[in-house]
Amino acid sequence: MTVLCTALLLSVLLLTASPAAADSVFGFSYFGREVLTGDARIEGRAGMGLAYTDSMNASVLQATQLADLERVTIGLTGRFSAVNAKEGIGDINRLGMSVPVIRMGMPLPGQGGLGFGFSATRATQWTVSRAWEDPNATPDPDVEYREIIEREGTQFDVPLQVGYRFFDGLLGVGAGMHFKGGAVRIRYDIGERATDGNIISFVQREIRDDTYSGWTPELSLALHDVGPLSIAGYWMPEYEADVDIVQATLSDPLDEPATRTDTMPQRFGMGARLQLPARFSIGADFTFEEWSAYKGRTFTYDSDGNFDPAGEALDMNDERTLRLGLERESVRVGLRYTMPVRLGFYMRDWHYKVQGEDLTEWGVTLGSGLALLGGLSRIDYSIGYSQVGDHGNIGVAESLWTIAVSIAGGERWY
């Protein structure tokens, strides 16, 4: 009961927080960069693990994995990022920390499991401040104007999932409901700046918040230990998101709130795991998100490069990600456990373009962990490096270092 109360309290606290990540030069995207939603154990394999099993961790990539839980468990994961962006004005360096991921799971009668939690799935933000001149006025050397654009995009997931195994564990079946929420926010200011650098008056101010919410189901299947091979997959159909719109300008401090409905993309994934000798395993995951079918809007620029807050949504690409991973599993030797070793590599085609060019990302990861309290709890950690964009091709590139730390424990640990 204490575990359940703790999980519910943490879930409420996280739901009142805003998912955030390190600032990104690609902040003028939609919801932003996809954030790995697994724990450090999974991230050490570059987020790969759809067909993997774990008896002590509720941080799952698809619902059938919950059937492997042996006790009530809670997992927490935190991520820290350092970003270096290269663009026309030079290098920009920023640090950031993501909202923690929390997951709770419990075994069910038979060979089943139930899980729920909270995680940010996409997050980005960016601020641009640059000199501005009124094209219809004579320049005044005693007056300096600044154009300030702040852009944020976030998306989060609150899943409730259940999984069962049948036929002596050979077949896994899972289902779930996911509450998907998020926001796209932009603030556009043109202000007169004083000699101390502060804005003393505004020529133009525009703020717009689009807040999203909707529900989507999940269906998942898995086949385990067919010889050395296990395979798994999931599907989440497209869904309708209710969007609440709030905007304000200098001339109208609070426009009448409005609503609309957006069609959000379907998503599916499939993965395979091959058990090798000496406790090694390798695996591969492929995920697909159909952003080309998205129906809604975003913030754009017109043909002259000027910000257009009323712009219609640009056509987006389908987002594809391939992840490859290797793991040497931990094993108990006497009174201690050996340390696992995890390696991973991934490639992703993003769901939108920059300067009319496709945007790609790749990354490598390394991870390990420690068993605590005789194996009743565990701490895992990973470090990853990724590269987004091509400075020579599109004029913008970004490199990202990420450290993830997670802890998971069973009921006796609490």
135: left (phi over 0), alpha (psi -120 to 50) or beta: alpha
Q: What is the CATH number of the domain that holds 117?
A: 2.40.160.60
Q: If we measure between CA atoms, which residue out of 344, 372, 385, 379 comes closest to residue 82? A: 385
Q: What is the DSSP letter of 197?
A: S
Q: How many CB atoms lie within 10 A of CB 356?
A: 6
Predicted confidence at residue 2, as pLDDT, reads 41
Distances (CA, A) of 174 to 65, 114, 287, 292: 8, 10, 18, 27
Q: If we measure between CA atoms, which residue out of 184, 178, 149 comes closest to residue 31? A: 184
Q: How many CB atoms lie within 10 A of CB 26?
A: 23
State the Cα–Cα distance between residues 349 and 181, nearest whole angstrom: 23
Token duo for residue 274: 């091959």
* CA end-to-end distance (rounded Å), the chain: 10
Predicted confidence at residue 16, as pLDDT, reads 39
**Count of structural domains, the chain:** 1
Q: What is the DSSP letter of 295?
A: B
β partners of residue 396: 390
Torsion angle of alpha carbons 44, 410, 111, 115, nearest 10°? -70
Token duo for residue 412: 């006796």
Predicted confidence at residue 121, as pLDDT, reads 76
Distances (CA, A) of 237 to 30, 47, 163: 20, 21, 19
Angle 52-216-116 from CA coordinates, rounded to 5°: 50
Return phi, psi of residue 11, to 5°: -60, -45
Predicted confidence at residue 295, as pLDDT, reads 82
Q: Are 52 and 80 in contact (CB under 8 A)?
A: no
Predicted confidence at residue 107, as pLDDT, reads 94
- Which parts of the chain have pLDDT scores under 50? 1-28, 305, 413-414
Predicted confidence at residue 342, as pLDDT, reads 97
Boundaries of domain holding 104: 2-410
| Statement: the pTM of the whole predicted model exceeds 0.85 | no
Predicted confidence at residue 14, as pLDDT, reads 38
State the Cα–Cα distance between residues 195 and 397, nearest whole angstrom: 33
Residue-by-residue DSSP string for 341-381: EEEEEEEEEEEEEETTEEEEEEEEEEEEEEEEGGGTEEEEE
In one-letter notation, the amino acid at residue 31 is F
Q: If we measure between CA atoms, which residue out of 15, 103, 110, 120 comes closest to residue 68? A: 110
Predicted confidence at residue 406, as pLDDT, reads 92
Q: What is the DSSP letter of 297?
A: B
